Structure 1
Amino acid sequence: MELEKRQDVEGFTRKGFICQAIAAGWHHKSPEQLKELANKVGRQRIQVLHGTLDNMITVPHGDTLARELGEDEGVTKIIVEGRGHVLHLEEEKLYRGVLQKMVEKTENLG
């Protein structure tokens, strides 16, 4: 995916890459902010989905996010072996199934 993206010189510009990197650096949330978010949304409604070959955001970041949101209190974490950052394109069927299950689960929560 990364090689394909980099070959698209119109859609993936150097400026776009730099802006994406800057934005990623500013998306920090403290454990307290994540707890507050999970309290407001409801932990049963939160899912962390991560690929083991994600070179943009590594699996330990996903583990930390799930833990801070409350994995032991209902947050779902799914780690997909051998996939990267763009799971919805890399594993479309899997992604649709995971999304469908989450929609059904949250519909039942009321």
Structure 2
Amino acid sequence: MIENMDRATQIKAMASEQRLTVLRLLAEPQKHFGHQWSADPVEFGVCMTLIAEALAVAQPTASRHLEILKQAGFITVRKHLKWSYCKRDEAAIREYLDWLGTELSSTG
């Protein structure tokens, strides 16, 4: 079971339109990042630089958003050479949504 502190981090992660946009973009990496040449965006993940470009924000801003998503468990980050690649953790997202649905359902 995930601790309450982790749930707070997950809720914080979902409370940002830019972080939700990242999750939406990473849901279809080939569609949004098919031009990535350094690695297959579906298999390997999407380079943080391309995510920053897609959000139209500076690299440090994108990095902060991605770090919160990583802390929440919604993405994984893999380093390769000088780049970092992000990929959605579908199981973690599904588990969070199941938990949220249970929390918000009527008990009686």
Question: Scaled by the length of structure 1, what TM-score is found?
Answer: 0.29
User: Whose Rg is larger?
Assistant: 1
